[in-house]
Structure 1
Amino acid sequence: MSADSEDILATAAAWRASGEDVAIATVVETWGSSPRPAGSRLVVTASGRMEGSVSGGCIEGAVADAAKQTMQTGTPQLLDFGISDDRAWEVGLACGGKLKVFVEKVG
């Protein structure tokens, strides 16, 4: 586990200990030119705090929305993002890559 991953997990634990609802999103698979490698993490709270990155910013809003839904329902989600190179800039995946992100509620 990288130092960044350990920092994200520590942040998630601290936010959870302070009473926040928390979810963690983890890149589990990538194809082609992906913005972040597998294992990259983003932690999100119900109040909107975020730390880390699963995409260098290009799909973080969609992942944060899914994380808030997961916090409400308790149901994990596997998100699949990808786009052809000709539409990549339009939807925010400028790299044209593909990735899968697993979102789960903490505690």
Structure 2
Amino acid sequence: MSDSEDVLATAANWRAAGETVALATVVETWGSSPRPAGSRLAVSASGKLAGSVSGGCIEGAVADAAKQTMASGAPQLLDFGISDERAWEVGLACGGKLKVFVEKLS
């Protein structure tokens, strides 16, 4: 089973157990990016995480957006990017840019 399939299986198990769950997926990358397009992060309303879309502060920002999406039901397209000069400061060690789509699982 691939990492992506593991995340989807984990999210499905959480849903089956009655949890509210959101799924974040890297949909685009430019330049150097910590995780490739297709990488996923599942977030439960109780605070469980499975998978990864990046690292550093971006992972936390995506988890926060996932909580908003779970509450509202509205999907979000998040856009992250930083210059190489500031990359380490904000947690994108390799610079680059990425877009992450966040949706509530039903």
Query: Do the two structures share a fold, i.e. TM-score over 0.5?
Result: yes
5+ residue gaps, structure 2: none
* 3-state SS of paired residue (1:67): helix
- TM-score normalised by the chain length of structure 1: 0.95
Aligned length: 105
State the Cα deviation string for residues 33-89 of structure 1 (Å, max 9, x = none). 00100000000001110000000x221100000000000000000000000011111
* 3-state SS of paired residue (1:85): coil
RMSD after superposition: 0.9
Cα deviation, residue 5, structure 1: 1.1
In the alignment, structure 1 residue 8 sits paired with structure 2 residue 7: yes
5+ residue gaps, structure 1: none
Q: Who is 1:68 aligned against?
A: 67
Paired-residue identity, %: 82
- TM-score normalised by the chain length of structure 2: 0.96
State the Cα deviation string for residues 5-35 of structure 1 (Å, max 9, x = none). 1111110100011011100000000000001
